[in-house]
A = this chain, B = another copy of it.
Amino acid sequence: MRRTNEVLKMPSPKPVKAITASIPMRDFSRSLPMALLRAREAVMRHFRPSLRAHGLTEQQWRILRALSSHGEIEVTELAAVAYLLGPSLSRILRDLEARRLIKRRLVKSDLRRNIVAITASGVKLIEAVAPSSEAIYAEIARRFGARKLADLQAMLHLLEGSLLTMPIAGDPDDDLDV
């Protein structure tokens, strides 16, 4: 029933190949990425309808939120804060600018750089969405438990930190035999 732990307790990674040949892989429906995906979706499906009602996607919302709390910010930094890849951000910024929710300007000292800011309309939109968004968040916290929620977030950050220094197998900047 808890075959997962048997594998996880393995201290040495050497015999993995032999093991996977005899024992089926741990049921992927219990894999960590799947658990994270399912949990995130369980949360997000409560937020999406409200955002959608205001004509926003989740990513567009993230960008507006980031801009409203950071003021003017460069595109690269915005990508880090809103946790979006460059290409996605480029497309979304083009769209948000056309909708006059953000504005951009060049950096005179380095013409490659862009500085983005939210407009008054953008702020108004945020203020329109925020109440229902906060209410949903509060209800989620109430159901799951505020303490457990804090614990969960702490563990998630810890996990992120643990993997930050883990080398990525097969990457060119690693010197291994893959």
Contact = CB atoms under 8 A, between A and B. Distances in A.
Contact of A159 (B16, B37, B39): B39
Interface in A24-72: 24-47, 49-50, 53, 58, 62, 65-66, 68-69
17 contacts: A9-B146, A16-B131, A16-B135, A20-B131, A20-B134, A25-B133, A30-B153, A31-B137, A32-B153, A33-B44, A35-B153, A39-B157, A140-B162, A143-B162, A143-B163, A152-B152, A152-B156
Interface of A: 4-5, 7-11, 13, 16-17, 19-21, 24-47, 49-50, 53, 58, 62, 65-66, 68-69, 81, 83, 126-127, 130-144, 146, 148-153, 155-160, 162-164, 166, 168-171, 178
